[in-house]
Amino acid sequence: MFKFGKFKKLIEDFRFAADFLIIYIEEAHASDGWAFKNNIAIKSHQTLQDRIQAAQILLKENPSCPVVVDTMENLSSSKYAALPERLYVLQKGNIIYKGGVGPWNYHPEEVREVLEKLL
């Protein structure tokens, strides 16, 4: 949830002009795998129910937009090269912005610039 506050501010500022969606994908730093210290302890998802339960942790942060979960086949993650996290802007079904791979190349401010240009 690196820079999650900036993402929430983006939603607040542009909800009148854009729809936002979070797709909760496979856990990049699962506690039973390659985990960061001081990270939220979430084990690798073995079932869809595991993934839904993990997404509930995100929902507690009040993201201000819908949160859905990826399939256990990781269809969204694969299609959008989203692991561990990535921002996209789509317009009429076309990708007009593809952010870098997070967390270090996760830049909500770039999405802000794109949305400002579209308005």
pLDDT (tens digit per residue) in 29-76: 544 555 455 556 566 768 999 889 888 988 998 999 999 999 999 999
Task: Provide the number of structural domains found in the chain.
Answer: 1
Give the Cα separation of 15 and 23 in Å (integer): 17
**What is the C-alpha end-to-end distance of the chain, expressed in Å?**
28
Give the Cα separation of 2 and 105 in Å (integer): 10
CATH number for the domain spanning 97: value is 3.40.30.10
Domain coverage including residue 56:
4-118
Whether pTM exceeds 0.75: yes
- Please spell the DSSP secondary structure of 3-36, one letter per residue: THHHHHHHHHHHTTT----EEE-S-TT-TTSS--
Give the Cα separation of 49 and 12 in Å (integer): 30
State residue 103's pLDDT score.
74
